[in-house]
Amino acid sequence: MGLGAPRRFPGDLRLISEPTSRLPVSDAVYIGVVRQRLVPAPYRVPHPVPVPQPFPVPQPYQVDVPVPKPVEVPVPRPEPIHTVTEVTNTAVVQPVTSAVVHHEGPQVTGQVQEHVAI
């Protein structure tokens, strides 16, 4: 008997049921020594990989968290085209007056003003 050939005596008995009558039947299992060699599989074999778990690091003092502050950005504003044009308000009518200064009068300063219509 060579290596890998089945043995002449059964290695185990298993209980099966006969298909037609459904009665239990003992079946002899003959085993043989099979040579095996380890070869790399053509696919990756899954292995359990440890997953690192985060843990809190004790701090010696409280660390300030920076608060974001808004930064002012200059907004371009449109400049008027006529910046040198002088604007005169012509809708207001002012009364025409003239001042006449007299040298005689009861005032201490010696000046009298009166409005004369033109």
Is residue 4 within 8 A of residue 32, CB to CB? The reply is: yes
Residue 17: beta bridge partners? 24
Residue 15 and residue 28: Cα distance in Å, rounded? 9
Higher per-residue pLDDT: 3 or 115: 115
Is 16 among the domain residues?
Answer: yes
The predicted pLDDT at position 69 comes to: 92
Is 102 among the domain residues?
Answer: no
Is 33 among the domain residues?
Answer: yes
Q: How many domains does the chain have?
A: 1
Is residue 17 within 8 A of residue 24, CB to CB? The reply is: yes
Domain containing residue 20? 12-40
Residue 87 and residue 94: Cα distance in Å, rounded? 17
pLDDT digits (tens, 9 = 90+) for 16-74: 888 888 888 888 777 666 666 666 667 777 788 889 999 888 878 887 888 999 999 88
pLDDT digits (tens, 9 = 90+) for 67-97: 999 999 888 888 777 655 666 666 666 666 6
The predicted pLDDT at position 36 comes to: 64
H helix count then E strand count, the chain: 0, 2
